[in-house]
Structure 1
Amino acid sequence: MGDGERRTITPQLHLLPPDVSDFTGREEEIRCIENQAPGTVTLITGKPGVGKTSLAVHVAYKTAETYTEGNLYADLRGADEKPASPEEVMARFIHALGIPEDEIPTDPHARLDKYKSVTANRSLIVVLDNAADESQVRPLCPPGGSAHVLVTSRSRLRGLEGAARIDLETFPSETAKDFLQRVIGQSAKDSTPEAIRAVVDACGSLPLALRIAANRLTSTPGMKVLDLAAELSDQRNILGSLEAGDLAVRAAFNLSYRRLGKRTKNAFKRLSLAPGEDFGPGVCSALIDCSELEARRTLEKLSEANLIESSSTYGRFRFHDLLKVYSREKNLKDSEAKRAASIHRMLEWFRNSALRVNFAFIGKFGELEAPTKYYADIETVDSAITWARAELLSATAAISLSLEHEGPSNAEILAMPLCAICEFLGEWQVVEEVVSLGLKATDVTESYDVELSLLNARVNLARHRREFFYGHEVAEMAYERAVESGKDFSISIASNLLGCLKMECGDLEGAKPLIEQGIEISKRLGVKNQLGQGLYNLGTVHRALGNSREAINCFKQDLQVCMELGDELGTAETLNTIALVLVEFGEFEEAEQFHRRSLDRFERIGNLDKVSMVLNDLGIALRWQGRDDEALELHLRDIELSRTLGDISGAALAQSNAAEVLHALGRSEEAERLYLEAVSVFTHLGDAERLARTTMSQVPLLFSVGKVEEAAKYADAAIRYLLDHGEVRDAAAAHQMIAEQYLKVDMNDRALFHATEAIRIGKSFSAPYFRAISYASAVRANLAMGNSDEAEKFFTELRSVNLISGNAVGELLEELDREREGGTG
């Protein structure tokens, strides 16, 4: 178009609908659009009713001064059966730009050329509302880089090249509340915050739903916010309640739904049957009876249509609350037989998949022949972990669904592997729910094997919570049930379990024969995974009894079994325990390597409870090597991780460990602060055992500031508690710690007393390296007091320990030899 032609045009460039007078929020999105340079196409997408058009029109008004030649607006009717054609819209825009109708070309190509010529390089804001697809939008974008095009669409229009994208979400909670209060005015003042919140929550913070709710409140005489909140609490009729005049949430959803293809409509209806907060292609494939690949494509189409939204996990989706209600409405219009078949296929998928995951965790791939085609493809431990992380909560909710629709037999089949999956991942907060639902099923079926498995999980949960005596009661009940059943396999599991709890409660002699019974049966039956558990528990008993060599032999046998089975969790656990025994032998560098191998596995599995455990243990191993800075870093990391997990006691334990290191580094004020916080937590929780251990960790700090008698009082109380509760090894270690502190302040008679007490009570229980330290303290105390004959007796005992221990005791012996020869004792 030449200059002469442009001058003859009289623009009629105000086609925008009215702005929304009570527009609320969207500050970030407005800023983003306003910052776009001329020539940009900005695409605003989102679910029905989220406020795409309101935002586009509002921004168009706000930027009017920037785009000085006016604005164009067209509703492209993308949700209609027959959307507006680009040629139709071009004709309107060309005419609005001052071209008489009889001069607008009828030929599509000529019309496009004309449109380009009259819009090129014009400073325009163009709003293309409710676009169906990319082909509608592309021809309507003015050339030349001077116009800003705002496109709204219910679809994501992924093929629209170079567009700046804004995916509009529902209002944040506070914005939704402000919007509702602004629109209803006086009614808000007469209501309570709780009633306002109830309406906002019922509307799911969806702007259209909030607008309708507000209109009903302002147009219905006598209706209070509390009345509407009560009405909206009925999920069955909520969509019917969200209608006001020609505004209706259901109608907005209908516009998007009717454009879907047959399979996609079917998926949309069925997905409301999925349990849990989100869903993936696996559940979808079972619900609509197709492959996972086809289900994935179907979910993408629903996401493209903004009828479902991405969840926090990549590849998974969820419903907005109101869209889920709409989905249920559509689903209920199908026959009961179709709904039942979909539910049955989905529950089969959960059962078969959970069993395959459980088998994968113990290294058994391909050994489970699924009776149907409905199961997840689990070929590696990593794929099993991925499935478990994504589906655990949904699968747990599916137990209730199974009880309702299929009966207890299928429900208990799902509950059993889910218990093992929870333990593998460290998801202890889920275990209780799974066990309760599973036992509800076994109450009807009287299935001893399943009940035993569930009781096993409940005992392990009690152990995790440190509720050892309650766990012992449950373990005894499980053992009685197993003996009643007469099944060797059940007896082996229950005897091993009861042995564990006896050990936890301090009855080591009672634990040993039960665990050995389980091992003997497992060997006879050839059940390797159960054998490995028995060997691990027997090693733990030997370790508690001070039989370190026997303990490490059992642990190494268990490690071999775990690695042969491909049992990643068992391997990681045993690697860490072997490291702990190596520390007791004074083999700190080798222990560190075992700890790190364990930590790598737990981090890959994603079992954060166990990661926390190993961080603590590895930190202690580093401290023994004098690497305090590295140890502190691990303990501080453990504090944060424990807090993230909601493990208050674990965080306090990590604080106590960090306090010890900080004291060693000379940072006493920081150490005292962490120590006092830990003591406060353990006192509040009533965790006397950890409180006693934390009290002992404070002893060096008190000695360093001259509070010797206060330290002695705390130490005596802690030692009494540990002895009263059968914690003999820890009591011996406490005596040794305070002996070392007395040596530092030349209170050698007290040092000798505590060193000999450590030797006396720990002789049968303490590990070789720690016995050696006690003998060394006794030697030093005697030398300091001039008791050379007594010192020689203890030195001889130290030599005997060196014969059965590792390099660290030999180094200690050499150090003490030098002290004796140099007269430094």
Structure 2
Amino acid sequence: MLLRLLGPVELGSDNRSVNLGGTRQRIVLAVLALNTNRIVPVNQLIDAVWSTEPPSTARSQIQICISALRRLFDEVGRPDAISTRPPGYLLQLDPADVDSLRFAALTADARRQADAGAKAQAAETLRTALALWRGKALSGIPSEPVQRAATVLNDQWLAAVEERIQLDLDLGCHQEVTGELQGLVGEHPLRERLHTFLMLALYRCGRRADALEAARQARKVLAEELGLDPSEELHRLTRAILQRDPTLGATDEQPTPVARPADPKWAPPQPRTPAVVLPRQLPASITDFVGREPQLDQIRRLLAREPDGDQTLQGMPIVVISGMGGVGKSSLAIRTAHELSDHYSDGQLYADLRSWDRQDHTAELLARFLRALGLTGSAIPDGIEERSKLYRSMLSGKRLLLVLDDVPPDLQVLPLLPGSSSCAVVITSRLRLTGLPGARQVALDVFDLAQSLEMLTTLVGPDRVAASQQDASELAKLCGGLPLALRIAGARLVSRPHWRLGGLVHRLRDEAKRLDEFTHHGLELRSNIELAYRALDGVGQRLLRLCSLLRAPDFPSWTAAALLDSSVIEAEDILESLVDAQLVDIVQYPDASPRYRLHDLIRVYAAEKLGEVETERERVVALARVLSGWLALAEEAHRSDYGGNYTTLHGTATRWTMDPADVAEHVGDPADWWEAERRALVVAVRQSADAGLVELCWDLALTAVSLFESKGYFDDWRECATTAYAAAERAGNRVGMAAMRYSLGTLHMFQTRLAEADVCFATALEIFAEEGVEHGSGLVLRNAAHIDGLRGDTGSMLAKYARSLEIMRRVGDRIGEAHIMRSLARHRMDEGDHGGAIELLDQALVICRETGCLRVEAQVMHRFAEVYLATDQIELARQPIYRALRIVRATGDRIGETHALYGLGILRHREGRPDNASMILTHTLNRSRRLGERLIEARCRYSLGEIALATGRISGGMEHLRAACDLFEHLGSTVWYERANSLLADADLLTAHPDPTVAPAAS
């Protein structure tokens, strides 16, 4: 299959899937795939991606997606798969290359076979069709049109399952389908046909009482869920079971022959006379083997052909154990081979291949194996082909286990494999060796903390570990969960019983000397890593060295291109070679592109090599490229959020940029990108400060505020701003200092720490004025005016807004202008000028839609709803508040969603739905407390108190109002404090005079 829709969408060939990129790209591919060999209009693609609210750039973004998809099809050998055909695009593929089309063809074939009376063949054809499914169709594609199509495909799956079960029942396979039917009935309780199948299968299994209970359950479900009586068919079947109607077919008390032939099963050979030569070449198994019991059990069951093992395996079993150097591949292979020694009674062949890497070594290995099997001298032919044929002939019918340990990438493995299905093979390699036909892959990862501590305890003794548990945990972490590192550390401690665990921990903390500590009596970690490093080509070695510069916990593939200063495609291929060599790990997050990381000890080794090979200048330049690449992508994400370089400042640092199509692919949905890169961005700010890249540092810290303010990541915000400020101050970079004071002031403003915000804004405004950075002054004045408004200082607020608005228009910051108009609209509302407020909001909305800035559009729509609620236009308020909610949820704006939910709660209250309003406001209160959004927390308290008083819950209402008063007073919000205090006073009056004619005043 080339294109797979029956499950998560995948594109690939030769057992390899390509990275499909961001959400938009996957939606476009899904729509094209659903219409394979049919022209898809551009408008249909736009509707699938954006529904009813496409941006003005929708067509160009679709074109970018199509270009990226063409490159992906080129990767899998179909460069001409997508063509432009007015009014859209055409995806041309053979039906056999698309699993949904292959499924449809197979189910049609099965129906023709069934109609012709070939029921057993039809059932097998349906099994082949159903085996194409890997889960729910088109899962993970967030598009309503695509999911409607997925529903149709999923229904077709269920219909095919029902048809196959009907055929199995016709063939007398009731025992085989009973368990499956019970699961299907539980999953699809409203499919009456499944209920009848289950009843009939149970009856034929001799379980008449269970069949009648299944009928009762079916009637109950249909009545409770649909309010319907069962069909006449179910009634007839129930009566027939009660009467033991012979037309139902024989039960298992009178067995019916099974028409469908059983699948061929492997059976061990009959006992035989042992061979004259029984090779026993396995090394000794370690006695302190720990931590791999699940993998050991999996391999043992597979190779022993146990009944509950892998019954899909045909032919000779081959297991490939892969993982990084030192992860315990050899220990697991040898332990497994020893446990299976009785099962493979004709012996075991073993070869340690870590230093064997050429074709002539394959011939030498074959000669060694032939000698182990009893041949000598001239009886061993020349050449790989002749030796391999003789080797396979000698092993024919034997029960022998072959272990090839630490297979290098260039070794010819196929000539070494026996040809008899009675043999078995275990291979260990740093590579996955996916080219071996029929091989089962077992990938080993490093130990977690619990497994690491178990191994340390086994090695050095429980008393010693228990006496120093904290040091033991740190030692396990410094070993990175790598079994070889743990074994070396344990061996050193055992050889020095007077050492404390803390002493070794202290030695290992020094990263520059850490690998020196991992050596003991022939065990050495550095040489183990060195083996994999030397197998790389020159550019692969260079990339590994440069990857040690990255301090982020994981990183995307484009960073390899920045480190090498190459194209993304070239760098990704080199990066994947490091993955194949088990020197770089893949980190897969749900619904996201794969990311990469270095194991801590690999990074230490790579850093050593970096210091030996690259100059200081080369290291700084490479690091600057990758950090400035994060800045370039952050700028792009900010532009996507705000429709341009609005509401922020940028410095003069050089950007490392990619091809625009690569930028579009990697950024994708900005909300997803910000979230995926959050930890990396924080580390990048820290690294740029440490490297003295000050201009880049403050620019990146300020640009990342787009993420921090929408998601409520206030700790990250504070760390980035303070780090960048300190770096700018050390370097005397006054613009950077002002930008970070502005950023910190905005953070204080968001957290309603008004005094701290005042100090920051005053410093920032002073420096921006001295340095002539007019845009910076405008941004500071805008936020300072907001603080004045919270305090009720209307005169100062209006003066600052006027100055800021003038600057925003002069420098072309349209979203900054829209922000101020929205804020001034609130002032007009408070003054009773609702028409003036609507006029300002109309202007702000035009700007938002012209620039495509959804984030600020949501804020403007929220303010529209406030104006309509203030004028009792409840119907008009609904649409803008719903629109605001849709936007903030689509863009992942958690702070914006909290504000919008608060607005929805107020709307419900004004609609006369106090219970619903209380539920929404309580939920919003909890969200605001988690996010630190204290002003919304206070307003929720106020509104909940107001609703409680209005519904007669006086004590609860007063509790909310007291909390609101405390919060408003602490926040310095005088206007809202006076409102809450006044309502609390009315509630006190109501408590003192419980006269129904005395009620609290409405707010």
Answer whether TM exceeds 0.5 for this pair. yes
Aligned residue for 1:363? 643
Matched, 1:726 2:984: no
Deviations, residues 596-635 of structure 1 (Å, cap 9, x unaligned): 4333433343333334443454455456657899889977
Provide closer, same or farther for how the CA distance between residues 525 and 328 of structure 1 changes in structure 2, counting only shifts above 3 A: closer
3-state SS, counterpart of residue 273 of structure 1:
coil
Distance 1:637 1:693 in 2: 13
Tell me the equivalent position of 1:284: 560
Q: Give the corresponding residue for 2:998.
A: 750
Deviation (angstroms), 1:694: 5.2
Distance 2:481 2:931 in 1: 33
3-state SS in 1 of match to 2:862: helix
Q: Is the 8 A contact 1:456 1:497 kept in 2?
A: no
Separation in 2, partners of 1:121, 1:633: 73
Assess, with a 3 A threshold, how the Cα gap between structure 1 residues 714 and 207 changes in structure 2: closer, same or farther: closer
- Per the TM alignment, residue 593 of structure 1 is displaced from its structure 2 partner at its CA by 3.9
Which residue of structure 2 aligns with residue 72 of structure 1? 349
CA–CA separation in structure 1 for the residues paired with 2:348 and 2:772: 85
Q: Pick from 461, 482, 504: which aligns with 1:185?
A: 461
- Superposition deviation, residue 443 in structure 1: 2.3
With over 3 angstroms needed to count, the CA separation of the structure-2 counterparts of 1:252 and 1:408, relative to structure 1, is same
The 5-angstrom pairing of residues 625-640 of structure 1 reads none
Q: What code does the residue aligned with 1:113 have?
A: K
Match of 1:681 in 2: none
Letter in 2 for 1:178: E
Q: Is contact 2:825-2:841 (8 Å) kept?
A: yes
SS, match of residue 446 in structure 2: coil
SS of residue in 2 equivalent to 1:310? strand
Contact 2:323 2:445 in 1 (8 A): yes
> Structure 1 counterpart of 2:409, which letter?
D
Corresponding residue number in structure 1 for 2:293: 27
Q: Partner residue of 2:743?
A: 457
Q: Distance in 1 between matches of 2:462 and 2:536?
A: 42
Give the conservation status (yes or no) of the 8 Å contact 2:583–2:598.
Answer: yes
Structure 2 residue aligned with 1:321, among 580, 592, 600?
600
- Tell me whether 1:63 sits opposite 2:343 in the alignment: no
Q: Structure 1 residues 109, 563: closer, same or farther in 2, change over 3 A?
A: same
Moved more, 431-440 or 365-374: 365-374
Deviations 1:327-350 (A, max 9, x none): 000000023333233234334434
Q: CA deviation at 1:155?
A: 1.5
**2:238 aligned partner:** none
Q: Is the 8 A contact 2:701 2:721 kept in 1?
A: yes
With 495-504 and 619-628 compared, the bigger mean Cα shift is at: 619-628
Deviations 1:17-51 (A, max 9, x none): 11110011122222332343643322211111111
Q: Secondary structure at the match of 1:36?
A: helix
- In the other structure, the counterpart of 1:801 is none
Structure 1 residues 274-283 or 717-726, which shifts more?
717-726
Determine if the alignment matches structure 1 residue 572 to structure 2 residue 858.
Answer: yes
Gaps of 5+ in 1: 654-686, 763-825
Between 455-464 and 230-239, report the one with greater CA deviation. 455-464
Offset from partner CA, 1:295-336 (integer Å, 9 cap, x none): 111110101101011134533211111111000000000233
The aligned residue for residue 319 of structure 2 is 42
- Distance in 2 (CA, whole Å) between partners of 1:27 and 1:635 is 51
Q: Does 1:498 align with 2:789?
A: no
Aligned length: 710
Q: TM-score, normalised by structure 2?
A: 0.63
Could you tell me which residue of structure 2 aligns to residue 119 of structure 1? 395
Q: For 1:117 and 1:589, how far apart are their aligned partners in 2?
A: 86
Q: 2-side partners of 1:323 and 1:417: how far apart? A: 32
- The letter of the residue matching 1:46 is G
In the TM superposition, what is the alpha-carbon distance from 1:180 to its structure 2 partner? 0.7
Q: Does 1:339 align with 2:619?
A: yes
Partners of 2:392 and 2:420 within 8 A in 1: no
1:330 corresponds to which residue? Answer: 609
Alignment of 1:311-460 (within 5 A): 311-313=587-589, 314-334=593-613, 335-364=615-644, 374-375=657-658, 377=660, 378-379=663-664, 382=668, 384-385=670-671, 387-423=673-709, 426-444=712-730, 449-460=735-746
Equivalent residue for 1:774? none
1:259 aligns with 2:535: yes
Q: Which residue of 1 aligns with 2:35?
A: none
Q: State the match for 2:512 in structure 1.
A: 236
- Distance in 1 (CA, whole Å) between partners of 2:885 and 2:546 is 42
Secondary structure of the 1:750 match is coil
Once the two structures are TM-superposed, the CA of residue 91 in structure 1 deviates from its matched residue by 3.5
TM-score normalised by structure 1 residue count? 0.76
Report Cα offsets for 1:42-83 as digits up to 9, x if no partner: 221111111111111122223344444443322222x55548
**How far apart, CA to CA, are the structure 1 residues paired with 2:731 and 2:283?**
66
Name the CA distance, whole Å, in 2 between partners of 1:326 and 1:623.
63
Amino acid at match of 2:784: L
Q: Counterpart amino acid of 1:176?
A: S
SS of the aligned residue for 1:749 comes to coil
Give deviations 1:131-172, integer Å, cap 9, x for gaps. 123863333333444443222111222333433222211111
* Aligned counterpart in structure 1 of residue 813 of structure 2, from 503, 509, 527: 527
Q: For 1:610, which of 896, 899, 908 is the aligned residue?
A: 896
Partners of 1:627 and 1:83 in 2: CA distance = 80
Correspondence 1:16 to 2:292: no
How far is the alpha carbon of 1:584 from its aligned partner?
Answer: 4.2
**CA-to-aligned-CA distance 1:716-760 (integer Å, 9 cap, x gap):** 746866897534599379959989x989x9943122xx23xx3xx
Match for residue 779 of structure 1? none
**1:189: Cα distance to partner?**
5.3
Q: Which amino acid aligns with 2:540?
A: T
Structure 1 CA distance for aligned equivalents of residues 401 and 791 of structure 2: 76
Distance, in Å, in 2 between the alignment partners of 1:235 and 1:321 is: 10
Matching residue within 361, 367, 385 for 1:109: 385
SS in 2 for 1:149: strand
Decide which moves more: 451-460 or 719-728: 719-728
Q: Which has the higher mean CA deviation after the structures are superposed, 451-460 or 315-324?
A: 451-460
CA contact (8 A) 2:738 2:763 kept: no
Measure how far apart 1:449 and its partner are.
4.5
Work out the CA distance in 2 between the residues paired with 1:631 and 1:132: 66
CA distance, structure 2, for counterparts of residue 86 and residue 639 of structure 1: 70
Report the AA paired with residue 43 of structure 1. V
Task: Name the residue aligned to 1:249.
Answer: 525
2 CA distance for matches of 1:226 and 1:404? 30
Partner amino acid, structure 2, of 1:53: S
* Structure (1/2) with the larger helix percentage: 1
Q: Cα–Cα, structure 1 residues 474 and 541, in superposed 2: closer, same or farther, change >3 Å?
A: farther
* TM-superposed deviation, 1:459: 2.4
Q: Look up the SS of the partner of 2:438 in the other structure.
A: coil
Residues 411, 438 of structure 1: 8 Å contact kept:
yes
Once the two structures are superposed, the pairs formed by residues 59-208 of structure 1 within 5 Å of their partners are: 59-77=336-354, 80=356, 82=358, 85-98=361-374, 102-133=378-409, 136-185=412-461, 188=464, 191-208=467-484
Look up the equivalent residue of 2:606 and give its one-letter code: S
Structure 2 residue identity aligned to 1:397: V
Q: Match for residue 599 of structure 1?
A: 885
Counterpart AA for 1:561: I
**Which residue identity is paired with 1:185?**
G
State whether residues 351 and 414 of structure 1, in contact with CA within 8 Å, keep that contact through their aligned partners in structure 2.
yes
Q: Are the equivalent residues in 2 in contact too, given 1:479–1:498 (CA < 8 A)?
A: no
The alpha-carbon distance between structure 1 residues 157 and 584, as it changes in their structure 2 partners (threshold 3 A), is farther
RMSD: 4.1
| 2:594 alignment partner AA | G
Q: Is the 8 A contact 1:76 1:83 kept in 2?
A: no
Q: In 2, Cα distance between the equivalents of 1:189 and 1:711?
A: 54
User: Which position in structure 1 is the counterpart of 2:796?
Assistant: 510
- 1:350/1:375 contact within 8 Å kept: no
**Contact between 2:627 and 2:684, CA under 8 Å: does it hold in 1?**
yes
Cα contact 1:699–1:738 (8 A) shared by 2: no
Moved more, 502-511 or 276-285: 502-511
